Amino acid sequence: MHAPSIAPNSRDRSRIAILRYLYRNRQATKQQLAHNLSLSSPTVTQHLRELAGLGIVVAAEPQASTGGRKAVPYAFNPRHRIAVGVCAGATETTLIAVDLYGEIVARLDRTLPRRNDAAYYQRVAGIADEFANGVEQSVRDAAAGRSRGTGTSAAGDATGDDQPGSVTGIAICSRNIMPTDVTGGATKATGPDHDADGTGNADGADDTPDAATRPHLAFADATGTPGFPVQAMRQLMHRPITPMRDADAAAAAELWFDHTLRDAACVYLDRRPCGAIIAGGRVHQNRTFRNGMIEHMSLVPGGRPCYCGQRGCMDVYCSPETLPEDYESLPGFFSVLEQGETHHRERMNEWMDRVAQAIVNIRAVIAGDVIVGGEAAQYLDDDDIADLKSRVAKLSPFGGGDNLRLRRGLCMDGQPALGAALSLIGDWLDDHGCR
């Protein structure tokens, strides 16, 4: 049983307006809502009662009063829903839970060397379910404690999965998400990722006309080798899951913390470089998860071989692995570079030129902002970023680099897991008219 809908298509604009106002302003009294939204007092009272019954609105501490009864404000409940992001790293799995304001509720880092097989993803599924269960219980216990102090109900009229604190979904990041069994642009309705009902709905539960040609997806490693099917992962989990590429999840975090972003290319300079595309203020991805695979653009035609089977790919020339000498670490390289060593500076200049050319190529398709992140970006200071921007401007045709906005990414610890969770929160807020 689901709680009454509060989505915009409910046609109840008054309730949506109240919800949006409370989300943006954190809390307000009935009088403030009625005045600022031009609504009648009975209308506001009715909707607040319904929203409180759903657990999405809670009574806050009474405001100070100069006389008479204190005004009781109502606050948006940020822990009405929780989202979980999971990132399967090379040596450990990171899980982050966030509330509806994007605040981190819980985090877990579990040592688990990544493998591209069923046993590994089954283990990840178990860890994610256990983590989500613990987060839900912790949030509900805290809400119950607060309600005992105020004499109010913590869960209102909601039950089961509709209780406040429920995990709305789990987004699982993988280095790559690859379509499997693709022939002639359509996907065969065979293999372990095919639904048991035989409809061809590999990764959804609908019967839309294009369901039979929806690609069957699998989590994949950095080389693009498909591993565990996404649909098989869904069958293991007890909550809705959303597959995401690491780069798309990291870009979602960039969007959350920078509301000015509209069109941008995110260039993540990790050991295996990757990228993401932001268009119209959203991470832009298609159903085959091929958008943003900048690492395999041809940078030097006929150049050095790449693991993808082609030659001269951006990955081969822009990976920070090309910087250190034999037996030298990446931190060691930048340490020697700071001392002014000539050969290290030469390699750095060549690498910066390659990265700049890759950015120019990307901006020929999407001429927006550029966000440079990944492991290498942690070692780039403001002067390096300014230098890179200058190189991009010089290589850009028709003065296309004059108005370029290029900046370092967030470079946050656990950014893909955080961004994955924030992406689910953003979807919930949009669906419910909160922003």
Cβ atoms of 170 and 84 closer than 8 Å: yes
Q: Under CATH, which architecture does the 8-76 domain have?
A: Orthogonal Bundle (1.10)
Cβ atoms of 376 and 289 closer than 8 Å: no
Token pair in block for residue 170: 């789990």
pTM given for the model: 0.86
Taking the C-alpha atoms of residue 237 and residue 234, their distance in angstroms, rounded to an integer, is 5
Q: Tell me how far apart the 2 most distant CA atoms of the chain are, in Å.
A: 82
Taking the C-alpha atoms of residue 230 and residue 49, their distance in angstroms, rounded to an integer, is 40
Taking the C-alpha atoms of residue 248 and residue 284, their distance in angstroms, rounded to an integer, is 8
Along the 435 residues of the chain, how does pLDDT read in single tens digits? 344 445 543 437 899 999 999 999 999 999 999 999 999 999 999 999 999 999 999 988 876 665 566 778 999 999 999 999 999 888 999 999 999 999 999 999 999 999 989 999 999 999 999 999 999 999 988 877 765 555 555 444 444 556 667 999 999 999 889 888 643 333 332 233 333 333 333 344 444 444 445 678 999 887 778 889 999 999 999 899 999 999 999 999 999 999 999 999 999 999 999 999 999 999 999 888 989 999 999 999 999 999 989 999 999 999 999 999 989 999 999 999 999 999 999 999 999 999 999 999 999 999 899 999 999 999 999 999 999 999 999 999 887 666 889 999 999 999 999 999 999 999 999 998 888
Cβ atoms of 217 and 203 closer than 8 Å: yes
All structural domains of the chain with their residue ranges: 8-76, 81-239, 261-410
One-letter amino acid for residue 280 of the chain? G
DSSP string, 10-43: G--HHHHHHHHHHHHHSEEEHHHHHHHHT--HHH
261-410: CATH number: 3.30.420.40
> Cβ contacts of residue 222 below 8 Å, gap of 6+?
175, 176, 272
**DSSP secondary-structure letter at 309?**
S
Q: Is 312 left (phi over 0), alpha (psi -120 to 50) or beta?
A: left
